[in-house]
Structure 1
Amino acid sequence: MTQDVLTGLLLGAGLALSVGLVVLGVRPRAEGERVVRRRQLPFRASGRQWVVAAVVGLLVGAATGWPVAGILTLVGVLTLPNLLVGDRHAAARTEKLEALALWAEMLRDTLSAAAGLEQAILATAPVAPQAVQAEAARLAGRIEDGQPLGEALRTFAEEVDDATCDMVTAALVMAAERQARQLAPLLGQLAAATREQVTMRLRTEAGRSRVRTSVRVITVTTLGMAGGLAVLNRAYLDPYSTATGQIVLAGVGGLFAVAFWWLMKIATLEEDPRILKGVRPAAGVEVVVR
């Protein structure tokens, strides 16, 4: 009976994998679409986190005698903190957006006082908001060293690495290399649009915080129940010590992993694509920004 169950599970997994591959293969693609495959994990973890997760996984595996429990513990230690604590990267980007909006307004006001673009950057760099102050200071340093303004601005955009910063930097590059006009009003409009984006992100993050609260409740309840059974009624968990029990435990853990991955996906803000990434200066017709 055990062998029949194992065979059925393997056949079912193989069938599900085959159907998924067929669906992926026959999915229609737009003409000229390029498929880019990035081999990366769906979470960020440092080397220290990997060491801690490996040690905790080994301890749990040795204490329970279940290899699958050790593997699930390792994955949980690596992924659950990012899901339960919150998206720190999103919070840092929101702070950077606010700083970019303020710096754009500072440049607008300085340009309105009949100052040139280079002078405006040099004047505002020392008092730029904290989130972009280091990058603005390096930008001013490159300008003082004689680097062309367009090249210095592109380097600034690469350092900040933000799609909204690319919009502001593109306006500055156009003004520096293609003699664009009406730069001050454009910077004001970009600053206003950036502040609206910040407001939208804050509202979205407030809604997604409820998802994280639900995940915390589910995680604490599940781990508390499993730990209580392991300490108070270990005999109830004895069936998991068999090969079939380990397969069932792996299936249950896989379902939880998929559910948590999905919750992590819907609780994470996707970043907009950058427009200046890899862009090099090119000769062209003078562009007038109205």
Structure 2
Amino acid sequence: MNATVLLCGLLGMAAAGGVVLAAAGWRGTPVRPEADTHPTPTPRWLLAMREILRHQRLVIGAVVAGIVAGVLTGWPVGGLLTTIAVLLVPRIVAPDSGATERTERIEAVAVWTEMLRDTLSAAAGLEQGLRATAAAPPTALAGPVRALAGRIDAGERLPDALRAFADDVDDPTCDLVVTALVLAAERQARQLAALLGTLAEAAREQVVMRLKIDAERARVHTSVRIVVATTLTMAAGLVLLNRTYLDPFDTGTGQIVLAGVGGLFGLAFVWMAKIAAIPAPARLLQNPTTSTTTREAIPS
């Protein structure tokens, strides 16, 4: 009997591993080309393996937890559901650190725009003003701003350097500023300093708005955590404290029903998490060689 239970648990974990690999392979991992304008596409299976290896500790822990659950309960489906839960639940209930980074990036864009405006107001040229901002750039934009100055020093055309800078920052608010700078570089736009001041003010207003939105989203995330924790605690309590109540799941039909119930709960958890996610607006400047556009997907 013990050997049969162990075999069932191992079979369930093999199925779970197949589901994880298939999902990772279907999703893939976007790769942004660096210098090669015609990069060789990476096979999806290799991207899937890289994704798995990057989170190998979580995957190993999920598989071990699934095996333990399958052996203790004798339910292959129970082991499979445990593996999937260990992989997905941390992403659903974890705070959205990306929201803070996006807000800091927008605020850094506002600060950088004001720095450039003040430099241009001192009768400096556009290229000279861009180089000057690289001396003490905002922390969130330090890398892209210095890379921009490096491209200018290397003799790259200013519009091309600015578009590359927009791709490095990868933010719709920054695209607005870069669009104004590209127009100024190509068509000698007047009153650029005043326009940059207006854009910086708009960026700060967007920061205030995002802080309010993030506060509201925090309430939704809290509700999601409570629902998920309550559901999983109740399920674990039934397995540990009232095992006879779950005896109908010991049959083959019971396993099918358990798979359906677990799938419905999983879909409900993902759906609740998606409610708290807000898609980012589309960028104005999108490099055609860039494989994907950044979006706020399922909250982490």
Q: TM-score, normalised by structure 1?
A: 0.77
**Percent same amino acid among aligned pairs?**
55
Deviation at 1:39, TM superposition (A): 4.7
* 1:40 maps onto 2:27 in alignment: yes
Aligned to 1:235: 244
1:31-110 equivalence runs, <5 A: 39-40=26-27, 46-48=54-56, 49-110=58-119
CA contact (8 A) 1:126 1:133 kept: no
Larger Rg: 1
Deviation at 1:70, TM superposition (A): 2.1
Aligned to 2:15: none
Question: Root-mean-square deviation (CA), in Å?
Answer: 2.1
After superposition, what is the alpha-carbon deviation per residue over 1:101-128, rounded to whole angstroms, capped at 9, x for unaligned? 1111111111111111111111111211
* 1:127 maps onto 2:155 in alignment: no
Tell which deviates more after alignment, 92-101 or 232-241.
Answer: 232-241
Aligned to 1:151: 160
In structure 2, the CA distance between the partners of 1:245 and 1:144, relative to structure 1 (3 Å rule), is same
After superposition, what is the alpha-carbon deviation per residue over 1:175-219, rounded to whole angstroms, capped at 9, x for unaligned? 112222221111111111111211111111111111111122222
Aligned to 1:270: 279
Q: Distance in 1 between matches of 2:170 and 2:159?
A: 16
Deviation at 1:279, TM superposition (A): 6.3
Q: Distance in 1 between matches of 2:288 and 2:27?
A: 25
CA contact (8 A) 1:61 1:69 kept: yes
Alignment match of 1:208 (pick from 201, 214, 217): 217
Q: Distance in 1 between matches of 2:157 and 2:218?
A: 45
Q: Distance in 2 between matches of 1:238 and 1:145?
A: 72
After superposition, what is the alpha-carbon deviation per residue over 1:130-184, rounded to whole angstroms, capped at 9, x for unaligned? 1111110111111111111111111111111111111111111111122222211
SS in 1 for 2:188: coil
Q: Which runs of 5+ in 1 are unaligned?
A: 1-37, 281-290
Aligned to 1:4: none
Q: Distance in 2 between matches of 1:173 and 1:51?
A: 49
* 1:175 maps onto 2:184 in alignment: yes
Output the amino acid matched with 2:91: N
Aligned to 2:254: 245
Q: Distance in 1 between matches of 2:62 and 2:184?
A: 51
Aligned to 1:35: none
Q: Distance in 2 between matches of 1:108 and 1:138?
A: 19
Q: Distance in 2 between matches of 1:214 and 1:155?
A: 41
Alignment match of 1:218 (pick from 216, 227, 252): 227
Q: Distance in 2 between matches of 1:51 and 1:224?
A: 23
